[in-house]
Structure 1
Amino acid sequence: MTDPEMMSIGVFAELVGLTASALRFYDDAGLLRPAQVDPSTGYRFYSRSQVSRACRLRQLREIGMPLPTIGEFFAADADEAARLLDEHVAGMTTEAERLRRAAETLGASLRAESRRAVCTVPGPVLAGAVDQVSASTGHDPDIPVLNGVHMETESGCVRLTATDRYRLATRTLVPTDPTCPSWAGTLSGDDLRVATSRLRRSPSVTVEADERAVTFRTSSGDVLHCRLFPEPFPDHHLLLKSLPR
C-alpha cells in the first residue's frame, strides 16, 4: 500500500512545473528518485519534501546545466554548489560569445553573397558631392528618410540628391566604369558624414549594395558601411524635370 499523503506522478509534475515524462527520465538518471513505487503497478509516488529538489532541478535544467554536473551540484555543500553554478554560467557566457561571433561571420558571408557592385567613382569627387548635397538634408523625426542622401546609378551616371522638402540639392558624377547598373537607394546621412573624410583620401571608391546597407571599398582596402533607409525617398524627379534646361 502506498502512503495516502504521497502524490501521484501527475500531481507532483504539475506542482513542480515538470512533465511526468521528465520525472521518469530524472528517476532513470538517478537525480530524483520517487519516494515510493507501487510494487504491483510500478506507479511512482512523490512526497512534499521532494518539491524543493524538483524545483531546483528544473531551474538547473532551464539554465542548461548538464546532468552529470547537476548530480555533483546536489551532492555538494553550499560553497561547492555555488562554485559549480558560477563555472557553468561562465562557460555559457563564453559559448554565447563564440556563437555570436560565428553568427556574425555567417551573416557577413550571406550579405556578401547578396551584395552587388553598383559603381566605382573617385573618392575625392564622391566626398565633395556628399558635402554639397548633405547640407540640404532634414532632421524631421517623423520623416527620418529626409536625413538621407538618395543615390541613383545608371549607365554613365551617378546622382546624389538630398532634400528637407524646402530645399533640394543634387550632384551628378561620372563613374569610372560607364557601364554601371541601374540602382537606387537612400543612404543614412549620418553614416555618410562619418565616412566622408576617409572617402576623400581614397583615389577610387567602389560602391556595393545589398538590401540593408551600402559598402564603400577604398583603394587602401578600407571597408566602410552605410545604412539604407527602407522608407521611400520623396519623388524629386518631377521637380527636376520642371527646372529650365
Structure 2
Amino acid sequence: MENELLGIGRLSALSGLPVSALRFYDTAGVLPPVVVDPSSGYRYYLPSQVRPARVVAHLRRVGLPLDDIRAVLAAPHEAPSILAAHVGRLEAGLADARREISAVHHLLETTETPMHRCTLPAADLVRALHEVRHAVSDDPAEPRLNGVYLDSEDGLLRVVATDRYRLSTTTVPTDGDPGLHLLLPTEAVDALTEGRHTGTLDVVIDRGTITLTGAGGTVRAEVSDVDFPAYRSLLEVGQQPVPVDAAALRAALDAGGTETQTRERDGVTFDVSRLGLGADGVHVGPSDDPEVLVVGVNRDFLLQALGSSGQLTLAIDDPISPLAIRDPARQDALSILMPVRLDQPA
C-alpha cells in the first residue's frame, strides 16, 4: 500500500495546491492525509485524493469560503447551489467595485457638480422613504447618516437608511438610470412623507441643492457633500431564513421579558430581547436547545423593523452576525439589526 501513497510534495505537484495549503486543509479537516509518519510527521495521500485536491485548488482560487469547500467535498450533489451562490456574490462584488471606481473617476475628474434632472414615481418614492425612515440617524456627529441615501441601480433606485445599529433598505422602480447617488436630508424626507404627492416628481440637483416638484408641491433642501457608508455587502447577510408570523412575534415581544443595557458610546439605555432561531421557528426568550441560535436584539428596533407586516423571514448566520428581516413577497425590502452582546444569562 505504501508504494501507492503520494507524498505531500507529489500531491502538491499533481493538484496545484501548495504544500503549505495542503497542511492548512489537513488542519482544517478538509483534505486530511491517509497516513502521517509518526516520527517525521510527513503526510501521505491516496492517489484517489488527487481529484478532490484539484477541486479544492480551483475553489481556493475563486475564494470560496472554507465551510463551503468542506460542504462541496462532503456532498458533491449540493455543489451546484453552493457554487451558484458564490458566483452571485462575486458578480455583486464586481458590480460594487465598478461603482466605487466610477465614483473615484467622478471625484478626480469633476471640480463642480453639474446640474442633473430625473423623474421618479411619487407614490413609490414616498412609500420607500416611509419604510426606511425609522433607521435614519439623528446624531449630529454623524452627518453622513442624517438622511436617506438614494443610490441608483439599473432600472432601480435603492433607498437606504442606517444609524450604525440597524439598516433598512428598499427600492423604487424607474424607467432608466436616474443617476442619483446622494443623501436626501432628513427634513426633505419628512416633508415628502408628510405631503400628498401623486403622479411623478421632477427632481433637479443644482449647485448643492435638490428640488423635488410634483402635484403635492415642492420640497427643496441642501445636499450635503458626504460619503454614505459602504452597505452593499450587508445585502447578502442571513442566508438561512426562518419563516415567522410578524403579528405573533410582535405579541411575543410585548409579553416577553427584556434586559436593559446601556451603550458605552452615547450612554443610551435600551431594552434587549432574546430571540431563538431554530428549525421549528422563532421564539422570544432564552433556550437550552443547542440547535437553537440565540441572539440579543434591541427590542424597539426589532418592533420598528417588523412594522405592520404579515409573513416575514428572519435569518442570522451566527450570534455575532447581523439579523436579517425580509418580506418573502418583496425581496427588495430588507431590514438589518446588529446583534447585542449577551454576556450574562437571562
**Interval containing the TM-score (normalised by the shorter chain):** 0.3 to 0.5
Greater CA radius of gyration, 1 or 2? 1
More strand by share: 2
- RCO comparison, higher one (Cα < 8 Å, 6+): 1
Give me the TM-score of the superposition, normalised by structure 1. 0.47
